[in-house]
A and B are shown apart, each in its own frame.
Chain A
Amino acid sequence: MTEPTSPPATPRLSPLHEQHVALGASFTDFAGWQMPVRYTSDLAEHHAVRTAAGLFDISHMAEIAVIGEQAGAFLDAALAGRLSALPVGRAKYSLVLDEHGGIIDDVIVYRVSEPEYLVVANASNRDAVVTALRARTADHAVALDDRTDALALIAVQGPAARAILEATPGFSAEGLDALRYYAWAPGAFALAGESVAVMVARTGYTGEDGFELYLDTAHAPALWEALLAAGEPLGLVPAGLAARDTLRLEAGMPLYGHELGLSIQPVQAGLGRVVVTDKPAFVGKAAIEAGPGADARVLVGLSAEGKRAARAGYPVLAGDEVVGEVTSGALSPTLGHPIAMAFVHPDHATVGTGLDLDVRGSRIPATVVPLPFYRKEA
């Protein structure tokens, strides 16, 4: 067996760290944070999210508020999408591009109020996103406020998510039943006579219905414990980053550093629709309009038989020619066969194309399939 990796000397701890320790979590280093990789079993946690619900601590995510009358105009210029058109109470998936059209990060942007947005970025890209946004504020009177250290983020994901929120004592949110996907509503959590604000968003990274709850770090442990206690009879289990990764892979959702990066243009990753090119100006516009070139590799889904999964970095072959590289792969817990996402030459990207995966020297036949691999029932 190969040596398991150990975390660095001084990892950052989540505001829910004590809860994770009490639950017997195994930890992993993720972007400098020590986060739960699993509590009991990756597979059990994965299946719980597909059939009931999982409770995730994703407090390592970065939250950056953008505030000012020109916040919408600023984000239109700084990000790939048209955020000025986003109504209050709604959220939008967007990208931070560089001048070459490469992806600095993928983000979810919530419109908190008319003059305020919340940009939620990956933990590993917090500094890069803050730096990029700050550099782009020159032409707009906006204030940036990095609230990452002040906010906890708890995700309740799975078909039972709404019932669990409704069953949690002290928790309330306006119009939960009518809340749309990629929308948010103000909520509250009452604790010992005190009520704290919770931003309740119907967003997630699992391919299931679910909610993401933003609140201050001090009250997060009590909400976490209340959700777990109320959710247990409904099948809720705490779930770690291992399950989160297989869930998002089945749902065809990209992970920065795997499917997204500085050398990848959005269109290559199937995210062309996220870039609004008819804006007057935004960072990366010229490069996006020029495009990545006709031979630029594109992201595909690959499905294989058997049990051996290709992993990130494994070559994709057409005959004896290397035509691509796997970016993420696993034995799909829900589907029972190996799945992978890979960048391949556009000549080999058509659905139905047969390719081979080089799994540590063995060739595993695979077929290009549409993404996502898994879609929840409507």
Chain B
Amino acid sequence: MSVPSDLQYTAEHEWVRLEGDVATVGITQYAADALGDVVYVDLPKVGASVASGAIVGEVESTKSVGELYAPLNGEVVEANQAVVDAPETINSDPYGEGWLVKIRVAETPALLSADEYRALIGE
């Protein structure tokens, strides 16, 4: 199971790439595999304020629905319309083209390291 070492993670199976004060957020390959083929994605609007732990979207597969939690406090500056139009991108490239939102962070968040996340999913 791919858990890139250059990313940070949440216990809710999101990944975070922090560049300056902008965090790119997606779901992990582990989460995408558990969901199965993603067929619908609902993302927060650009400009929305999000609070760490709040539900801000949905990732839905043929079998089940996963809720997307904000991994940190901040403001949504970009939502990935390409993934809304082609949700299967989340399965094929969860850490790349399958990113979900970019959030301008208000403060440096406490997140899991790749090793901590690997331990969480039993790897």
Question: Residues of A at under 8 Å CB distance from B?
Answer: 1-4, 26, 37-38, 41-44, 46, 242, 245-246, 307-309, 311, 330-331, 333, 360
B31→A1 contact, CB < 8 A:
yes
Q: Which has the most chain A C-beta neighbours within 10 Å: B40, B58, B62?
A: B62
Alpha-carbon separation in the docked complex, A143 to B29 (Å): 51
Specify the chain B residue showing the minimal Cβ separation from A332: B62
B109 to chain A, nearest CB (A): 17
Alpha-carbon separation in the docked complex, A40 to B46 (Å): 34
A239 to chain B, nearest CB (A): 13
Q: Which of A3, A42, A309 contacts B36 (CB 8 A)?
A: A42
A43→B62 contact, CB < 8 A:
yes
A30 to chain B, nearest CB (A): 12
B31→A4 contact, CB < 8 A:
yes
What count of chain B residues pass the 8 Å CB interface test?
29
Q: Which of A44, A242, A330, A360 contacts B58 (CB 8 A)?
A: A360
Q: Which has the most chain B C-beta neighbours within 10 Å: A37, A41, A44?
A: A41
Stretch at the interface among B16-24, B65-73, B111-119: B65-73
Q: Is B60 an interface residue (CB 8 A)?
A: yes
Alpha-carbon separation in the docked complex, A39 to B27 (Å): 21
B65→A26 contact, CB < 8 A:
no
Contacts of B43 in A (CB 8 A): none
1/0 contact string of B49-77 vs chain A (CB within 8 Å): 00000000011111111111100000000
Q: Which of B37, B39, B42, B65 contacts A311 (CB 8 A)?
A: B65
B39→A2 contact, CB < 8 A:
no
Instruction: Given A1-B13, A1-B27, A333-B62, decide whether A41 and B37 contact each other with a Cβ distance below 8 A.
Output: yes
A249 to chain B, nearest CB (A): 10
B61→A42 contact, CB < 8 A:
yes
Instruction: Given A1-B12, A4-B31, A308-B60, decide whether A42 and B37 contact each other with a Cβ distance below 8 A.
Output: yes
Q: Is B82 an interface residue (CB 8 A)?
A: no
Alpha-carbon separation in the docked complex, A354 to B48 (Å): 34
Contacts of A1 in B (CB 8 A): 12-14, 27-28, 31, 35, 59, 66-69
A56 to chain B, nearest CB (A): 16
Q: Is B106 an interface residue (CB 8 A)?
A: no
Specify the chain B residue showing the minimal Cβ separation from A44: B37
Contacts of B8 in A (CB 8 A): none
Specify the chain B residue showing the minimal Cβ separation from A362: B42
Alpha-carbon separation in the docked complex, A360 to B69 (Å): 15
Specify the chain B residue showing the minimal Cβ separation from A246: B62
B91→A41 contact, CB < 8 A:
yes
B122 to chain A, nearest CB (A): 9
B34→A4 contact, CB < 8 A:
yes
Alpha-carbon separation in the docked complex, A42 to B34 (Å): 11
Q: Is B33 an interface residue (CB 8 A)?
A: yes
B64 to chain A, nearest CB (A): 8
Specify the chain A residue showing the minimal Cβ separation from B62: A42
Instruction: Given A2-B12, A42-B61, decide whether A307 and B33 contact each other with a Cβ distance below 8 A.
Output: no
